[in-house]
Structure 1
Amino acid sequence: MTTALPGFPPALVRRLVIKIGSALLVDPAGEVREGWLRTLVADVAARRAAGQQIIIVSSGAIALGARRLKLPRGGRGSLEDAQAAAATGQIALSQCWAGLLGEQGITAAQMLVTLDDLENRRRYLNASATLERLMQLGVVPVVNENDSVATAEIRFGDNDRLAARIGQAAQADAVVLLSDVDGLYTANPHVDASAMLIETIDKIDARIAAMADGGSASGMGSGGMTSKIQAARIATGAGAHLAIISGKVDSPLSHWADGGRGSIFLAAPAKRARKGWLAGRLTVRGRIIVDAGAEGALARGNSLLPAGVRGVEGSFARGDVVDIATQDGRVIARGLIEYDSDAATKIAGRRSEDIAALLGEMPRSVLVHRDHMAMI
């Protein structure tokens, strides 16, 4: 893929995901910031006219619904309030997007997804196929988390990571997160005047992760810089660039393309589709702790053998997704486990030829096969 350029121009980025948070789309009184949104829709129309395919990931349903239902704490006082607010606000949100896009001659489509829709392989492929067909038809999908049915345990919780997963499912070239800050800083710029913007990030290491601040400045949204860096891991691992730019200006995409500031996380080489899906998952069932020898073997492209395992955590069944971590806690891979947690515990640290004696059979010689594993 071509090296990222500020603005993600249509000539270089064929398919773009744009994420808009609640604090940008909804004002403190719970009304849509329609004047600002019109400028963004005009940006979208201009990019489409230049040949770029656009997918929108839009927050705002809970904030809009809370005002209509007169719920306290912006509708986030309880899971039940959030679900009711989302169900009410989603109608208003979709009507707003359909109307403004329609004024530009653009057909909008609504897609509501849950975390489980993208963590389940079959439903993930269904979502991917739907997005692809909408792109072929010239439609702009407007995607949001289905908060009316999502539970506290099984939800994205923020649309930054949702945007990255949608980008992966749609095989997008880039993702843009419109934010209340204009990129990643060395410290929180709201409280530290010496903080400096980092314009290009080619690798997300511990130093970059340490710069994140988990708070949402507006109190209206659910994400912070931590969620944006997590989103960047997913997007870049899927071969897409990810940018964080300011949404606090009119025509934010044009402003950025004309020299506005922002941070770009550069794409890594894309993994094969199944391995990319594995690496981008947000939920796992357990963790396998490995020694240095196994870590080196995995880095060389080998499968995980029982001999290199030093610990088994969690309760899982064969075929579940597990993390593979070093003894100091670094997650280095993710894969589909070949044994349930009880059997994995019994054979941990043992040679493959000992499995039959320990379990009464030896159906498989590896714990995680390299074809079902993604390095992280």
Structure 2
Amino acid sequence: MKRKNWKRIVVKVGSALISPNRKGCSSHYLLSIAQFIVKCRAMGTQVVLVSSGSVAAGAHQFPDGERSDITIKKAMAAAGQTEMIATWDRLFDFPSAQILLTHADLRDRERYVSIRDTIFSLLDHNILPIINENDTVTTDKLKVGDNDNLSAMVAAAADADALIICSDVDGLYDKNPHTHDDAILLSSVANIDQSIYAMAGGAAKGGVGTGGMRTKIEAAEKAVSHGIDTYIINGFTELSFNMLLNGKNPGTHFEAHEKPMAENEHWMRHTTRAQGEVIVESEFAPNLSDNAESLTSKEIIDVKGEFSVGDTIIVRKDDGTKLVKARSNYSSCLLNFIANQENEEFASEFEEQTGPIISKKNLANLEKE
């Protein structure tokens, strides 16, 4: 480990640490995390905190509410968010700031850049950014869904050196440690593949959080591809944080890629969400990542979904092979219109005047998936 070289880290804390019993916020587990953050800052490391827990923290104020009712959950989030921020604020002797996000904020390039600028400005003024998904206003179309993946997106936006995800176990095991006594902890993972996801199992069941080990692996995959070392550690024990401060690995270290993706390509691939698909013939196999303008309406078989100019789309072959994820310069309606033109000369002239369907500057290669 090279903790001493960290210039900026993101620490992700889940609902189970914030409100273990859903009876409001508890500082029982948060105190050691807060001390870790204080010590990191004292050593010159900037910290961004991604904190779940608003719904769990506010649940006790709705004793008669149905927790499965989305309206009640939004109200719980609204009530619990202030309590959660106040709890964190009491644990620090320096100022903190609240940033509430939806996926719509992150997948819009202009708003994403604005988020980056805000985080950098807060850090430059020694203010701790505390980030959470805005559960009060988010919908299925707008939400990230879990703060593990949100923390990875934030780590990428913040240009962090390390992402530390606090869990209820010591890290990633080769099998579920809650049900297998012979489960072995993986101290490091150099490559995240399907075998790693198989160890993670499915989503979390029960408890107070929305994620499980799988979402943590997803977050790690996003982060390491941006060159961010990622650690899954046990957030319930102070020893984990003391080990990190001493340059030791207390859990599972997911090793950052030596050649990380370019910032814009990473955002396109891991943060944006495709609103539709453009299907091309299987014989169409140019390297779109280098020659995006080679995609014309002649190669298009079908257009799926409804999207507008500027929305993100997937271009794939009709055999299912994904080629690229890109920003569309055409709406689905217009693309369908020109692709269905029998007069190819008309379509070619139209595209020549209007411009390419996708551009290299707004594209991420998916052929290696």
TM-score w.r.t. the length of structure 2 is 0.88
Q: 1:237·1:279 contact (CA, 8 Å) conserved in 2? A: no
Give the Å deviation of 1:32: 2.7
Matches within 5 A, 1:148-163: 148-163=136-151
- Local SS of the residue matching 2:259: coil
Distance 2:120 2:144 in 1: 22
The one-letter code matched in structure 2 to 1:70 is P
Distance 2:236 2:263 in 1: 35
Per the alignment, residue 277 of structure 2 pairs with 287
Name which of 11, 24, 47 aligns with 2:17. Answer: 24
Distance 1:199 1:308 in 2: 47
Matches within 5 A, 1:1-376: 5=1, 9=3, 11-72=4-65, 76-102=67-93, 106-216=94-204, 218-256=206-244, 257-267=247-257, 269-291=259-281, 294-295=284-285, 297-298=287-288, 302-306=292-296, 307-345=298-336, 355-358=344-347, 361-362=350-351, 363-364=353-354, 366-376=356-366
Among all aligned residue pairs of Structure 1 and Structure 2, give the percentage whose two residues are the same amino acid. 30
State which drifts further: 280-289 or 116-125: 280-289
- Local SS of the residue matching 2:177: coil
- Local SS of the residue matching 1:81: helix
Q: 1:240·1:268 contact (CA, 8 Å) conserved in 2? A: no
The one-letter code matched in structure 1 to 2:91 is L
Distance 2:60 2:288 in 1: 52
Distance 1:333 1:201 in 2: 27
The one-letter code matched in structure 2 to 1:278 is M
Note closer, same or farther for the CA distance 1:147–1:327 as it changes in structure 2 (3 Å cut): same
Distance 2:222 2:264 in 1: 14
User: What whole-Å deviation, never above 9, does each CA across 1:292-350 have from its counterpart, x for those lacking one?
Assistant: 55455135565451355444321112221112334454544211112222443456699
Structure 2, unaligned stretches of length 5 or more? none
**What root-mean-square deviation, in Å, do the aligned CA atoms of Structure 1 and Structure 2 show?**
2.7
Note closer, same or farther for the CA distance 1:185–1:347 as it changes in structure 2 (3 Å cut): farther
Give the Å deviation of 1:137: 0.6
User: What whole-Å deviation, never above 9, does each CA across 1:233-258 have from its counterpart, x for those lacking one?
Assistant: 32223332222111121253223444
Q: 2:20·2:208 contact (CA, 8 Å) conserved in 1? A: no
TM-score w.r.t. the length of structure 1 is 0.86
Structure 1, unaligned stretches of length 5 or more? none
Note closer, same or farther for the CA distance 1:96–1:195 as it changes in structure 2 (3 Å cut): same
The one-letter code matched in structure 2 to 1:83 is K
The one-letter code matched in structure 2 to 1:59 is S
- Local SS of the residue matching 1:371: helix
The one-letter code matched in structure 2 to 1:357 is F
User: What whole-Å deviation, never above 9, does each CA across 1:208-243 have from its counterpart, x for those lacking one?
Assistant: 333332332552100112222222232223332222
User: What whole-Å deviation, never above 9, does each CA across 1:138-162 have from its counterpart, x for those lacking one?
Assistant: 1111111111111233111110111
User: What whole-Å deviation, never above 9, does each CA across 1:248-303 have from its counterpart, x for those lacking one?
Assistant: 21253223444422231423633333322212224221122345554551355654
- Local SS of the residue matching 1:16: strand
Distance 2:322 2:69 in 1: 33
The one-letter code matched in structure 1 to 2:85 is S
State which drifts further: 45-54 or 202-211: 202-211
- Local SS of the residue matching 1:131: helix
Note closer, same or farther for the CA distance 1:191–1:301 as it changes in structure 2 (3 Å cut): farther
- Local SS of the residue matching 1:197: coil
Distance 1:324 1:183 in 2: 36
Note closer, same or farther for the CA distance 1:72–1:254 as it changes in structure 2 (3 Å cut): farther
Aligned pair count?
362
Q: 2:25·2:83 contact (CA, 8 Å) conserved in 1? A: no
Superposition misfits of 4+ residues, deviation over 6 angstroms: none
